[in-house]
Structure 1
Amino acid sequence: MVPLNPCSVMASNKTTSAKMASLASRVLNDPDSSGIARRLAATALAQAKPKKRG
């Protein structure tokens, strides 16, 4: 496991775009995605703005 950099653990005000969140969702739903791709996709979705429900 890669040691965590204390600077990378701090909160950020950056968010993932809707287009990137959509791509991340497709990666997570693809059974052939690699483990690292899934981890990166999960991180991107965690930083995405929540969709407003009607």
Structure 2
Amino acid sequence: MPVDEAATLLGRSPRTVRRLAAAGTIPAHRIGARTWAIDRASLDTYRHGGTAA
């Protein structure tokens, strides 16, 4: 899922979601130099207090 959609689900800014992805807190894959694709299942686990990794 795109960063903007993940940010909406988390109630955070897209910038914060990119930081979480870069830190490995939320599993994500880089697509190009500036775009992230975030794994929906891992994001759901993170949202509900589990470990996303």
Higher relative contact order (CA 8 A, sep 6+): 1
Q: Give the TM-score, by structure 2 length.
A: 0.29
Name the larger-Rg structure.
Answer: 1
**More strand as a share of residues:** 2
